[in-house]
Amino acid sequence: MLELAMGIMLGLLGLGAGCAMIAGIGPGIGEGNAVAKACEAIGRQPECKSDVTSTMIMGCAIAETTGLYGLIVAILLIFVAPGIFTGILKEAIK
């Protein structure tokens, strides 16, 4: 019974890590749109290049943190959580 419970637990942890990595899609799309609009704005008003570029870089940096948080959650689910949940599961079955 313990092996089945551990198998289910590890499978669900892997599923959760995969779902957490989906968080990387949003920042990629958002940053692509931001860069496209920044290039469009610079094309319309070249004298605003420094303002548009600095704002775009700040926005991309903030958007990238969402993807990094998803990556950190996935790494924790893959490497840290199995040890924690295995100990809890063994204690609960005893």
List, for residues 26-82, the tens digit of each pLDDT value: 888 989 999 999 999 999 999 999 999 999 999 999 988 988 999 999 999 999 998
Q: How far from 71 is each of 1, 34, 92, CA to CA, in Å?
A: 32, 22, 30
Count: domains in the chain: 1
Q: What is the CATH number of the domain that holds 40?
A: 1.20.20.10
DSSP state of 76: I
Of the candidates 75, 82, 90, 93, the residue with the CA atom closest to the CA atom of residue 9: 82
Q: Which residue has the higher pLDDT, 17 or 24?
A: 17
pLDDT at residue 54, rounded to an integer:
93
SS3 category, 7: helix
Provide the residue range defining the domain that includes 63: 2-93
- Predicted TM-score (pTM) of the model is 0.75
Measured CA to CA, the distance from residue 2 to residue 78 in angstroms comes to: 20
pLDDT at residue 42, rounded to an integer:
92
